Structure 1
Amino acid sequence: MGEIFQLLKRGNKSALLAAIINTVISIIKGVAYMFTGNVAMFAETMHSLGDAANQFFVFIGSALSKKAPTEKYPNGFGRLVNLVLLGAVLIVGIMAFETIKEGYHHVVHPTEAGGFAINVTVLAVATLLETFVLFKAMKEVLHEIEVEASGFAVFGKSFANLGRAKPATKLVFMEDLVATMGGLLAIIAVVISHYTDLHQLEGLASIIIGIMMLFVVGKVFLDNAAGVIGQADEEMENKIGALVMADPDVKDIQGITVIKEGEDLHVELEIEVDPKLTVAAADDIKDRLEEKIMAEKGVVDVTIEIDEEDGVMTWKSKNELETE
């Protein structure tokens, strides 16, 4: 039990914060829907409820993925976070389907909902809370990739570097971005529907919110399916390749592979050195490179093979390949 608590302390904090806030939001929206019967509020209730459950599972998965390797699982549990995220998106998918279905019924059979003041107030408060969580996720993205930013610069830099964030943080970011946009859309639909006869707009807003949820499902599924299979991190391969080639005793790199498992990186490297070097000297090179590579963020193990120089330059960085 003590080990579980220690692992939970290392779970993704953004996911935990988002899960707690979305739970509160879903309860408030659910109560408002019971009193008003507003279909846009129903869509937002489903959205927040799905996000809360999803993000809670993400927190648990990100924590358990940090469990130390065992004899039975020598490569560790890094991919567990990808598996949990694959399961979590199913929840969002179901909620998205219900949201679209309810919205369609309202478009076909529009009805005027009451409780205008309640709906607008609840949606406005919920959207502000979602914006707060989104901003925290943005800062977490920048923290993970060690990029400094403040004020409005956080928005631009977090979007530009989202692809480099950890899977759990990326999911929280995307879900809360959609939630914030969905909240604003729901408010607009409620206001227009109240002051006009266009009551179908609430159903249309519900359908659009559901479609946005499905977009998150598709994006997260593709990203984490690749992670479960074992996705190569090309950016880190290029970075480590440059680091290795900077060593004066390394003549060439025959091959380099960086496999991403959840938040962990496994590095396999084959280098060429001067054939005149002694075994002891070659071993010193290997130890030196292992120390440098292990210092890179996310790297959990390094395997290095040494071969003699063959006189043919094999290594080309990603940038060099793109210019050919």
Structure 2
Amino acid sequence: MNDLFKLLKQGNRSALLAAIVNTIIAIIKGAAYLFTGNVAMFAETMHSLGDAANQFFVYVGTALSKRAPNDRFPGGFGRLVHLVLLGAVLIVGIMAYETIVEGYHHILHPAESKGLLLIIAILAAATILEVFVLFKAMKEILHDADIKASGFSIVTKSLSNFKRGKPATRLVFMEDTVAAAGGLLAIAAVLISHYTPFHEAEGIASILIGVMMFLVVGKVFLDNARGVLGESDVEMEQKIGEMVMKDPDVKDVGEVVVIKEGDQLHVELEIEINPAMSFAEADDIKDRIEEQVRSQRGVTDVTIELDEDDGIPRWNSNSAGSKK
């Protein structure tokens, strides 16, 4: 049990925070829906429930992926987070379907809901909380990318470096972006329905929110399907190759492969050195380079193959990840 608690402490904090916030929001929205019968509030309730369940599974998955390798699974559990995320998006998909169906029924049978001030107050408060979680996810992305920013540059830099964030953090970012946009859309629909005869607006808003949820499902599914298969990190391959080439004893870099498994990076590196060097000197070079590579964020294991320099330059900034 103690080992489990230790693992849970290593789970993605953005996902845990988002799960807690969305659970609270879902309870409040659900109570408001039961009181008012507002279909836009139903859509937002389903959205928050889906996000909360999804993000909780993500948190648990990122924690379990930190388990150390064992005899049965010598490669470790890094890809477990991708499997968990693939399962989690099914929950969001079901919620999205129910949201669209409910919106469609409301369009066919529009009805004016009650409790305008209560609905607007809850949706506004929920949207503010979603924006808060979204901002935390933006800062987490910058932390993953090792980039410092302040003020409005946090928004712009997190968007430009979105792909460098961890899978779980990217999921929270996407879900809360859609949640914040959905909250604003629901507020607009409620106001239109209340002040005009166009009561179908709430149903249309519900369908649009469901469609946005499906877009997140598709994006997360594709990203994590690649992760399960073992996607390479080309940017890190180039960074490591250029770093190793700066070592005075390295004559050439024959190959760099960096495989992403959840938050972990596995590095395979082939370098060429002077064939006249002794075994002890070559071993010292290998140890020195391995230490440098391991110092990079996310790198958990390094495999280095030494070869003698054949005098043919192979490395360039665009050659990472392929056999030379």
Q: Does 1:19 align with 2:24?
A: no
Tell me the TM-score normalized by structure 2.
0.97
Bigger CA drift: 7-16 or 112-121? 112-121
State how far apart, in whole Å, the 2-side matches of 1:137 and 1:320 are.
Answer: 30
Q: Does 1:131 align with 2:131?
A: yes
Mapped to 2, the partners of 1:230 and 1:184 lie a distance apart of 38
Task: Trace 1:1-324 onto structure 2 (pairs within 5 A).
Answer: 1-318=1-318
Kindly provide the amino acid, as one letter, of the partner of residue 58 in structure 1: V
Given that residues 234 and 320 in structure 2 are in contact (C-alpha distance below 8 angstroms), is that contact kept between their aligned partners in structure 1?
A: no
User: Cα distance, 1:319 vs. partner?
Assistant: 8.5
TM-fit CA distance, 1:109: 2.2
Q: Deviations over 1:13-60 (max 9, x none)?
A: 111111011001000000111111111111000000000000000010
Identify which range, 270-279 or 58-67, moves more after superposition: 270-279
How many residue pairs get aligned? The number is 321
Q: Is the 8 A contact 2:227 2:262 kept in 1?
A: yes
1:67-110 per-residue CA deviation (whole Å, 9 max, x = no partner) reads: 11112111111111111001000000000111111111212222
In structure 2, C-alpha distance between the alignment counterparts of 1:148 and 1:305, rounded to whole Å = 35
**3-state DSSP class of the match of 2:70?**
coil
Shift >2 Å, 4+ stretches: 318-321
TM-score (ref. length: structure 1):
0.97
Amino acid at match of 1:69: P
Cα distance in 1 for partners of 2:265, 2:251 equals 24
State the superposition RMSD in angstroms. 1.3
- Could you report, residue by residue, the CA deviation over 1:110-136 in whole angstroms, capped at 9, with x for unpaired residues? 221112111111111111111111111
Matching residue's letter, 2:318: K
Moved more, 11-20 or 275-284: 275-284
CA drift of 1:145 comes to 1.6
Which one is further off, 4-13 or 312-321?
312-321
Residue identity matched to 2:313 = M
Tell me by how many angstroms 1:282 deviates.
1.2
Distance 2:320 2:126 in 1: 48
Distance (whole Å) between structure 2 residues aligned to residue 213 and residue 320 of structure 1: 36
Local SS of the residue matching 1:307: strand
Unaligned runs of 5+ in 2: none
In 2, the alpha carbon distance for the partners of 1:319 and 1:180 equals 41
Partner Cα distance (1:21, 1:255) in 2: 45
Deviation of 1:171 after TM superposition, in Å, equals 0.5
User: What is the identity, as a one-letter code, of the residue corresponding to 1:78?
Assistant: G
Given that residues 237 and 320 in structure 2 are in contact (C-alpha distance below 8 angstroms), is that contact kept between their aligned partners in structure 1? Answer: no
- Letter in structure 2 aligned against 1:193: S
CA contact (8 A) 2:141 2:158 kept: yes
Distance 1:38 1:92 in 2: 21
**Match for 2:116: what amino acid?**
F
Q: What is the CA distance between 1:254 and its match in structure 2?
A: 1.4
Structure 2 distance, partners of 1:182, 1:116, is: 17
CA distance in 1, matches of 2:297, 2:275: 32
Distance 2:269 2:230 in 1: 17
Partner amino acid for 1:236?
M
Rounded Cα–Cα distance in structure 1 between residues aligned with 2:92 and 2:318: 36
Distance of 1:31 and 1:289 partners within structure 2:
59
Distance 2:320 2:89 in 1: 38
How far off its partner does 1:320 sit?
A: 10
SS at the partner of 1:302? strand
**What secondary structure does 1:318 align onto?**
coil
